[in-house]
Amino acid sequence: MRVFFRNPLALSGLIIIVAILILALFAPLIAPYDPNFIDIDSILTAPSTKHIMGTDGLGRDVFSRMLFGAQISLLVGFVAVGIATLIGIILGSIAGFYRGWVDSLIMRLVDIMLSIPTFFLILAVIAFLTPSIWNIMIVIGLTSWMGVTRLVRAEFFSLRQREFVLAAETMGASDFKIIFSHLLPNSLTPVIVSSVLGIASAVLVESGLSFLGLGVQAPTASWGNILTDGKEYIQFAWWLSLFPGLAILLTVLGYNLLGEGLRDILDPKNKNN
């Protein structure tokens, strides 16, 4: 734990993420207005003491919408990466443990998935489903498990021949027991790092989709769809473009810093310093 707080990357990343988490959790308490309250008397007003981030084209308070947008952004990041990590761990364990044709089959599936341009794949699936926050999370999860699969498989390959695993096997432990109590706990380090970095890209993908109108649908606020408004009113209302973009930038930066910091900390090569 001490190592963690001495690593400037991890620490600054964590501070950013925790701050955003607090803002998102307490959004209903902090938000000065109902995020969907339409006030036709204050359409597109510039930031002031009354509306600290201004109002949008329908007179809604941008600051309140940003707070509720943070909830969406965090939710999508966690759930999408949760799905991807779960699939990755299951397939990676099976491939790494049983090897042979099962391994070949899974790894070919990974190769195939990696050669389809991801953003096209996501958009294609969304084209056939209806865009909603749940579909977005599932689709991002289903299209980003390949990295974790490879990591877990590689860890299993190197752990499989170690004495403690061979010992467990000799003593007659079941496959299930070996995978869950010996192999998996020892392969999670790289998975944690890649998951944290994965959240960052999920946040970017979600905001991109929402910006294109294929993600979180109005009236639910998300940073991406506030930016869609920003694009429309770019000549009159700079605040609609500036704040959501900064929020996405900060969030993604936070996860990336945390991920890279964790990588440094967890890398055994760096143990000594």
Partner 1 sequence: MLKYLIKRILWMIPMLIGISLISFLIMQLAPGDITSNEAAFNPKASEESRQKLRELYNLDKPVIVQYGLWLKRISQLDFGNSFASHQRPVLWQTEDKNGNITKGLIQEALPITLLINLLGIFIIFSISIVLGTLASVRQNTWVDRSVTLFVFVGFAIPGFWLALLLMYWTGVVNQWLPISGLHSPGYLNLSEFDQTLDLLKHLILPVLISCLSGLAGISLYVRNGMLEVLNQDFITTARAKGINEKKVVFVHALKNAILPLITIVGLSIPGLIGGSVIAESIFAIPGMGKLFYDAVLMRDFPVIMGILTIGSFLTLIGNLLADLGYAWADPRVRKGLVK
The residues in 218-257 that bind partner 1, with binding defined as CB under 8 A, are 227, 230-231, 234-235, 238, 241-242, 244-245, 248-250, 252-253, 256-257
**Part of the chain binding partner 1 (CB under 8 A), chosen from 45-53, 54-62, 115-123, 176-184:** 115-123
CB neighbours of 271 closer than 8 A, spacing ≥ 6?
none
The 10 Å Cβ neighbour count of residue 154 is 15
Tokens of 266: 């967890």
* Binding residue (CB under 8 A) for partner 1 from 118, 132, 186, 217: 118
User: What is the distance between the alpha carbons of residues 56 and 212, in angstroms, rounded to a whole number?
Assistant: 18
| Bridge partners of residue 61, in order along the sequence | 55
Which CB, 111 or 175, lies closer to partner 1?
111
Taking the complex as a whole, the smallest distance from the CB of residue 246 to partner 1 amounts, in Å, to 8
Tokens of 194: 């890649």
Which CB, 117 or 219, lies closer to partner 1?
117
Place of tokens 């955003």: 20
User: What is the distance between the alpha carbons of residues 231 and 86, in angstroms, rounded to a whole number?
Assistant: 37
Task: By CB under 8 A, tell whether 113 contacts partner 1.
Answer: yes
The residues in 56-85 that bind partner 1, with binding defined as CB under 8 A, are none
Local structure of 233: helix, strand or coil: coil
Which residues in this chain contact partner 1 in the complex, by CB under 8 A?
Answer: 108-109, 111-121, 123-129, 200, 204, 207-208, 211-214, 227, 230-231, 234-235, 238, 241-242, 244-245, 248-250, 252-253, 256-257
